Amino acid sequence: MPELPEVETVKRGLTPAMEGTRVTRLELRRGDLRFPFPDAFADRVSGRTIVSLGRRAKYLLVDLDDGNTLISHLGMSGSFRIEEGRIEEGAASGMPGEFHHARSKDEKHDHVVFHLQAASGPRRVVYNDPRRFGFMDMVGRADLAAHPFFRDLGPEPTGNELSAAYLAERFRDKAQPLKSALLDQKNIAGLGNIYVCEALWRAHLSPIRAAGTLVTATGRPKAQLDLLVASIRDVIADAIAAGGSSLRDHIQTDGSLGYFQHSFSVYDRESQACRTPGCGGTVARIVQAGRSTFYCATCQK
């Protein structure tokens, strides 16, 4: 499933293509994705101007000029494709954001098409989703924080609200495995499996240790928790930078971008040597709550 850095990369790639354009028509090629589309969805979006694009956790947010916000989640296989010019004349096409798992460009999975009018001419932004685990919704911008998708979310891993003191309050006396606690969206919003594995490796912390062991008896964060917060920030920043380094090319015909998968230290590296200098250990894979966890038992304690 696309994680926060992928969604942020997609947002940054779509922004120059969508922001400030008018939606001449929203084309729905089926009645639902993971969930049915909102009532009169196409009519409510068609004719509106896109004011800005944003992101909250793993959700893409499209603000419209009538005060409504379109919410999009990519699910397991969703992606957006940008097509410049009139399609019948041969469009230059690109896909903003690359992913650890390949995204489809098969047109039979094109389910939603934004027909846009920009100052430079017409363009289309196409949502493609073979597995249809993604979804779209609409809500008034003023009501966004209270929406069921967002009301229980913790702070962003890139924001100032995330701190060792905050996590100490959340983790105190918790026997829950550290990885599970980090994946809990009520603790941190948008942090997913890949980047939890990578952050724990950077902080030399075991995914199976109890979250509460990073907090003192008086409720203060231990030094290891400070290091973990710094590692979370760094790995998310590095991943966004790797995905965003070629965003200027998002409408090239091959749609290719650099991506953080080339820099994984533990994720998907089972049985390979740990990259911690002097460690000598080997990356192992275990399953926690149905998800693969990759870590080095030698240097992650």
SS3 198: helix
Active site residue 105: no
Q: Which of 11, 12, 56, 58 is catalytic?
A: 58
Any known ligand binding at 73?
A: no
The type of residue at 157 is P
Active site residue 2: yes
Whole-number Å distance between alpha carbons of 263 and 51:
35
Residue with tokens 């998002």: 250
Whole-number Å distance between alpha carbons of 54 and 12:
9
Q: Which of 22, 34, 170, 291 is catalytic?
A: 291
Alpha helices in the chain, H assignment, sequence order = 4-18, 41-45, 164-171, 178-183, 193-203, 223-244
Active site residue 3: yes
Any known ligand binding at 111?
A: no
The type of residue at 128 is N
Q: What would the two tokens of residue 266 be? A: 């533990």
Any known ligand binding at 174?
A: yes
Q: What would the two tokens of residue 94 be? A: 């690109």
Instruction: Determine the straight-line distance between the first and last CA of the chain, rounded to whole angstroms.
Output: 28
Q: Which of 2, 96, 157, 207 is catalytic?
A: 2
Whole-number Å distance between alpha carbons of 6 and 247:
12
Q: What would the two tokens of residue 261 be? A: 């998968």
Helix (H) or strand (E) holding 55, with range, is strand 50-56
CA-based nearest residue to 45, from 32, 26, 18, 58:
26
Q: Which of 3, 6, 8, 83 is catalytic?
A: 3
CA-based nearest residue to 70, from 83, 94, 57, 53:
53
* Residue numbering of the annotated binding site for DNA: 109, 131, 174
Residue ranges for the binding site? 109, 131, 174
Residues belonging to the active site: 2-3, 58, 291
